[in-house]
Amino acid sequence: MILKTVIKNIRFKPLNAFLSILLLTAGIGIISLLILVQEQFEKKFSRNLEGIDLVMGAKGSPLQIILSAVYQIDTPTGNIKYQEAKKWMKHPFVKTAIPLAYGDSYMGFNIVGTEPIYIEKQNAQIKEGKLFEKNLEVVLGSDVAKKSKLKIGDTFFGMHGMVSNDEGHKHKEHTYVVVGILQPTGKIIDKLILCNIESVWLIHESHEHDEEEETEEHVHDEACNHSHNDDENDKIIEEEKEITAVLFEFKNKIAIIQWPRLVNENTNMQIASPTIEINRLFTLFGIGIDTLTYLAWGIMFISFLSIFISLYNILKERTYELALMRISGASRFQLLQLVLIESLCLCLVGLFSGILISRVALFIISQAAEEQFKLSFNPFEIIWNKELPFIVITLILGIISALIPAIKAYRINISKVLANA
């Protein structure tokens, strides 16, 4: 009976109810979306920093070095000499030093030259095949394998730069061969194509040679495309080669404090701290999140005010009906329940709609972020420690907004109402 009356009351003023639900949906949707984005954003960024104390790269923006070397979502500041970097990589304080070299891609996924220890540090494991051992052998991240449909033994050409279509320059003089596929990790390595550094050098050595003799026609037979020719490796002069960055983990944490100044002042390279730069990024990101959160709470406050006004007006207009209900046997407590349940129904509809819309919005954001920044979000994740208290607070505020009308209904004077009818 109470539920039927509640539905009738809501239908009595449908526009008021719709406005209340719409405002509540907007506020809840924004806050829920911000909770999901902030939590997953920080979690993903933090997970990729495991085992990385400092990053060495070319002089430029420290944040750009971190974003390009650790997260692969920005262009590098430049290249550094491998032999010069190697001196620092062999320092006694260094526990692990992982060189990275890149500049090419396939279907928008970076082709990264590195060492097998990079895969180990990312806690990634081989799902199919094996690790790369020879030139032009590659291991695919799980997302790359899924989207490219490449399998063990398949071959492909790399493209110069980050290009997601076939309009870029293809390195057709050398063919990459897929020898391994990694299991999903939820880290950036899922979106990378990994090979040894010599492969990157070999590709770009040929590319530079082509640019010098661009007026000549080059005819390539099968020997040019052979991916396991050890003689080509011998032609690479390591002293002249460059890499993009080096990821460091230290035995002695004092080096984390000392190295940035030493390297930045005495070399043409630069050391950047992932922790400092990402915390700075989180701070800037957090300011925007806080601003939008305050805006959303403001919208929700207006929504609860709308619910209060709506219930209060309905109560004034239907006082006579409530008096008749009391005569028909309804208790004071049932009238109190009637008003409170009506408010909770509006809140629950707003909650459900807001949470649903936040998931849809996050799915759309995830598609765009994955394409441009290699960041994906899970719209189905529930952040219980943040969303549950938020839901409880919303319901409590819904009850509070109905409290005055509910008390007024509880205290209704039957004889006075009927006498004035």
In this predicted model, what pLDDT tens digit does every residue of 260-301 receive, in sequence order? Answer: 999 998 899 999 999 999 988 888 888 888 888 898 989 988
Confidence at residue 135, expressed as pLDDT on a 0 to 100 scale? 93
Could you give the C-alpha distances from 85 to 16, 56, 270, in angstroms and in order? Answer: 68, 8, 11
What are the mean pLDDT values of the chain's consecutive 10-residue runs (421 residues total)? 69 80 92 90 86 94 93 90 93 94 88 95 94 95 94 91 61 88 93 94 66 42 43 52 95 88 91 92 84 89 87 77 78 84 89 94 88 80 89 90 85 74 58
Confidence at residue 224, expressed as pLDDT on a 0 to 100 scale: 41
Token pair of 283 as six digits: 């701070």
At 398, list the tokens.
């819904």
In this predicted structure, what is the pLDDT of residue 235?
A: 47
* Tokens at 16, concatenated: 């008021």
3-state secondary structure of 114: strand
Of 96, 94, 104, 93, whose CA–CA distance to 122 is shortest?
A: 96
Distances in Å between the Cα of 191 and the Cα atoms of 57, 58, 110, 383, 413 are 21, 24, 8, 25, 70
Q: What is the pLDDT of residue 218?
A: 38
Asked if 157 and 166 count as a contact pair (C-beta separation under 8 A), the reply is no
Tokens representing residue 146 in the block: 């899924």
Q: Supply the DSSP symbol for 370.
A: H
pLDDT of residue 283: 87
DSSP sequence for 273-286 = -HHHHHHHHHHHHH
Q: Which tokens is 219 given?
A: 């005819």
DSSP letter, residue 383: -
Using the Cα atoms of residue 322, residue 327, residue 330 and residue 333 in order, give the sign of their dihedral: positive
DSSP annotation of 212: H
Report pLDDT for 163: 58
What single-letter DSSP state applies at residue 170? B
pLDDT at 354: 93
> Residue 164: its pLDDT value, please?
56
Residue by residue, DSSP assigns 145-185 as HHHH---TT-EE--EESS-SSS-S-B-TTS-EEEEEEEPP-
- Specify burial of residue 216 (Cβ count, 10 A radius: 0-12, 13-18, 19+): exposed
C-alpha span between 379 and 360 (Å, rounded): 7
Q: Which residue type sits at 122? A: Q
Distance CA(218)–CA(169), nearest Å, equals 15
Nearest to 361 by CA among 131, 8, 25: 25
Query: Cβ distance 27 to 398 under 8 Å?
Result: no
Q: What is the DSSP letter of 223?
A: G
CB 383 within 8 Å of CB 35: yes
* Whether the model pTM is above 0.85: no
Give 307-344 pLDDT, tens digit per residue.
888 878 877 777 777 777 778 777 888 888 888 888 88
The span from the first CA to the last CA of the chain, in angstroms, equals: 24
Q: Nearest 10 degrees: CA dihedral of 215, 220, 225, 228?
A: -100
For 170, phi then psi, to 5°, come to -90, 140
